[in-house]
Amino acid sequence: MIILDAILQGILMGLLFALVALGLTIIFGVMDIVNFAHGEFLMIGMFTAYWTSLLLHIDPLITLPASAVVGMLLGLASYYWLVKYLLRGPMIAQLFGTFGLMLFLRYLAQFLFGTDYRIVQKGLLVGKSLSLGPFILDWTKLSAAILSLLAFLLVYYLLHRTKLGKALRATALNKEAAGYMGIRTDRMNALAWMIGGGTVGIAGGLLVNFWYVYPTIGLLFVMIAFASVALGGFGSIKGAFFAGVLIGMIEMLFPVFGHLIGWDFLGPHFKFTVVYFAYFVIVVLRPQGLFGWKH
Amino acid sequence: METLRDALDFSDFSRAERVALVLFSLLLLLFPWLGTGSFVKTVVIQFLLFSLFGMGWNTIGGYGGQVELGKAQYVGIGAYTVALMMVWWKIPFWISMPIGVLIALGYSFIIGYPLFRLKGHYFAIATICTSLVLQDIFINWKLVGAAKGIELPIHEHPDFLYMQFKSDTYYFYFIMALFYAGLVYMNWFRKSKLGYQLRMIKDDEEAAQSLGIDARWCKIKAYSIASAFVAVGGGFLAVYNLYIDPYSVMDLDLSIKIALMAMLGGAASMWGPIIGAAFLVPLDRFLGSWLGGQRGLIGVDFMIYSALIMIVSAYQPRGIWGIVEQFRRRDR
Amino acid sequence: MIDLIKDFGGVIANNHISFEIDQGEIIGLIGPNGAGKTTLFNCVVGYHKPDSGKVIFKGKEITGLKPFMTNREGIGRTFQIMKVTAGMTVLENVMVGAFCRTEHRAVAVREAMEILNFLGLEELKGFHLNELPIASQKKVGLARALATKPELLMLDEVASGLNPKETEDMVALLKRIHQEKKITLFLIEHVMEVVMPISQRVIVLDSGEKIAEGLPKEIVKNERVIKAYLGEKYAKGF
What is the number of other CB atoms lying within 10 angstroms of the CB of residue C232? 9
Chain C residues lying within 8 Å of B214, measured CB to CB: 66, 68
Q: Give the model confidence (pLDDT) of B252-269 as tens digits.
A: 888 988 888 888 888 788
Is the pLDDT score of A242 beyond 80? yes
Q: What is the CATH number of the domain that holds C187?
A: 3.40.50.300
Chain B contact probe: residue of C38, C99, C138, C140 with most B CBs at under 10 A: C99
pLDDT at C173 over 60: yes
Tell me the residue type at C224.
R
Residues counted in chain A: 295
Given CA atoms B13, B19, B20, B25 in this order, what sign does their dihedral have? positive
The pLDDT assigned to A15 comes to 92
Residue A221 has phi, psi (to 5 degrees) of -75, -30
Q: How confident is the model at residue A141 (pLDDT cuts 50, 70, 90)?
A: confident
Q: Residues of B with CB below 8 A from C99's CB?
A: 193, 196-197
| CA atoms within a 13 Å half-sphere pointing along the CA-CB vector of B39 | 7
Range 170-189 of B in CB contact (< 8 A) with A: none
Largest CA distance in chain B: 61
- Cα A219 to Cα A276, B112, B129, B142, B301: the distances in Å are 11, 24, 11, 25, 19
C-alpha A271/C-alpha A283 separation (Å) is 19
Question: A127 to each of A10, A118, A142, A212, how far by Cα in Å?
Answer: 19, 15, 12, 14
- At A295 the pLDDT is 35
**C182 and C225 housed in the same domain:** yes
Asked whether the CA dihedral A18, A23, A24, A30 is positive or negative, the reply is positive
Q: Give the domain ranges of chain A.
A: 2-21+36-218
| Greatest mean pLDDT among B107-116, C58-67, C76-85, C224-233 | B107-116
Terminal CA-CA length for chain A: 40
Rounded CA separation A145/B297 (Å): 37
Q: Is the dihedral of CA A220, A223, A229, A231 positive or negative?
A: negative
Vertex C147, ends C145 and C151: CA angle to 5°? 70
CB contact (8 A) between residue B212 and residue C144: no
Residues of A in contact with B315 (CB under 8 A): 85
Distance from CA of C223 to the nearest CA of B (A): 37
Is the domain of C134 the same as that of C88? yes
To the nearest whole Å, the CA of A232 is away from the closest chain B CA by: 14
Which chain C residues contact residue B208 at CB under 8 A? 68, 96
Q: Chain centroid to CA B29: how far?
A: 21
Report d(CA C96, CA B195) in Å as an integer. Answer: 10
Query: In DSSP terms, which residues pair with C26 in a beta bridge?
Result: C185
Whole-angstrom distance, CA of residue B256 vs CA of residue A107: 15
- Cα distances (Å, whole numbers) of residue A293 to A17, A28, A239, B60, B297: 20, 11, 9, 30, 45
CA of B121, closest CA in chain A: separation in Å? 7
Residue B315 to chain C, least CA–CA distance (Å): 17
Instruction: Report angle CA A95, A96, A100 to the nearest 5 degrees.
Output: 125
Q: Based on the domain organization, do C92 and C166 belong to the same domain?
A: no
Contact A280 B140 (CB under 8 A): no
Answer whether B203 touches C (CB < 8 Å). yes
In chain B, residues with a C-beta closer than 8 Å to the C-beta of A265 are 140
Mean pLDDT score, A204-217? 87
Three-class SS of residue B124? helix
Name the β-bridge partners of C210: C205
Same domain, C66 and C162: yes
Please write the tens of the pLDDT for every residue from C46-100: 887 777 777 888 878 888 788 888 888 888 899 888 887 777 888 989 999 999 8
Mean pLDDT of A197-215: 89
CB-based contact B208 C145, cutoff 8 Å: no
Contact B38, B46 (CB under 8 A): no
Which residues are registered as beta bridge partners of A130? A137
Residue C28: which domain range?
1-74+150-238
User: Pick from C103, C131, C148: which residue ends a domain?
Assistant: C148
- Residue A148: CB atoms within 10 Å: 27
CB distance A224 to A249 below 8 Å: no
B200 close to C (CB below 8 A): yes
Contact A279 B129 (CB under 8 A): yes
CA dist C88 and C96 (Å) reads 10
Strand C26-30 relative to strand C56-57, pairing: unpaired
Which residue has better confidence, B318 or A67?
A: A67
In which element (H, E) is residue B329 found? helix B319-331
User: Are B209 and C72 within 8 A, CB to CB?
Assistant: no
Lowest-pLDDT range of A109-118, A168-177, C14-23, C100-109: C14-23
Chain-centre distance of CA A80, in angstroms?
21
Q: How confident is the model at residue A159 (pLDDT cuts 50, 70, 90)?
A: confident
On whether the CB atoms of residues A44 and A109 are closer than 8 A, the answer is yes
- At position C75, the amino acid (one-letter code) is I
Q: B207 contacts in C (CB within 8 Å)?
A: 79, 82-83, 144
Q: How confident is the model at residue B102 (pLDDT cuts 50, 70, 90)?
A: very high
How many helices and strands, by DSSP H and E, does chain B display? Answer: 15, 2
Chain segment B268-313, per-residue pLDDT in tens: 888 889 988 998 888 877 776 776 656 556 667 777 777 877 887 7
Percent of chain B's residues with pLDDT above 70: 93
Q: Minimal CA–CA distance to B126: which of A231, A33, A276?
A: A276
If you measure CA to CA, which chain B residue comes closest to C70?
B212
- The C-alpha atoms of residue A144 and residue A202 are separated, in whole angstroms, by 10
Among B125, B252, B306, whose Cβ lies nearest the Cβ of A226? B125
Judge whether B218 is closer than 8 Å to chain A, CB to CB.
no
Tell me how close the Cα of A82 comes to any Cα of chain B, in angstroms.
7
Please check whether residue C74 touches B, CB under 8 A. Answer: no
CATH architecture type of domain B2-31+41-331: Orthogonal Bundle (1.10)
Is any Cβ of chain A less than 8 angstroms from the Cβ of B287? no
Antiparallel, parallel or unpaired: β C26-30 and C201-206: parallel
Residues 6+ apart with CB under 8 A from C164: C193
Note whether C70 and C154 are same-domain residues.
yes
Query: With contact defined as beta carbons under 8 Å apart, do A155 and A175 qualify?
Result: no
Query: Residue type for B250, please?
Result: M
In this structure, how many other beta carbons lie within 10 angstroms of the beta carbon of residue A153?
Answer: 11
pLDDT of res. B54: 93
Angle at B51 between CA B47 and CA B53, to 5 degrees: 120
Domain segments of chain B as ranges? 2-31+41-331
- pLDDT score for B52: 94
Same domain, C163 and C138: no
> Which pLDDT value is given to residue B332?
54
Note the pLDDT of residue C3: 58
Domains: count for chain C: 2
* B214–C contact, CB cutoff 8 A: yes
Is the same domain home to C114 and C156?
no
Name which of C70, C80, C96, C149 to mutate to probe chain B: the one with the most chain B Cβ atoms within 10 A of its Cβ.
Answer: C96
Q: Per residue in B15-32, pLDDT tens?
A: 888 888 888 888 888 887
Alpha helix (H) ranges present in C120-236? 134-146, 164-181, 192-198, 216-219, 223-230, 232-235
Q: How many Cβ atoms from other residues are within 10 Å of residue B46's Cβ?
A: 17
Q: Which of B306, B287, B286 is nearest to B297 (CA)?
A: B287
Alpha carbon distances (Å) from A32 to A202, A213, C120: 23, 29, 42
Chain B contact set for A38 (CB, 8 A): none
User: Do C198 and C174 contact (CB within 8 A), yes or no?
Assistant: yes
Closest CA to A20 of A253, A202, A268, A282: A202
Torsion angle, alpha carbons of C224, C229, C235, C238, to 10? -150
Run of H or E residues at A130: strand A129-132
Q: What is the mean pLDDT of residues A101-116?
A: 86
At B66-99, the pLDDT tens digits run 888 899 999 999 999 998 888 888 888 888 999 9
Closest residue in A to B67 (Cα–Cα):
A92
Tell me the shortest Cα–Cα distance from B214 to chain C, in angstroms. 6
Residue C194 pLDDT > 70: yes
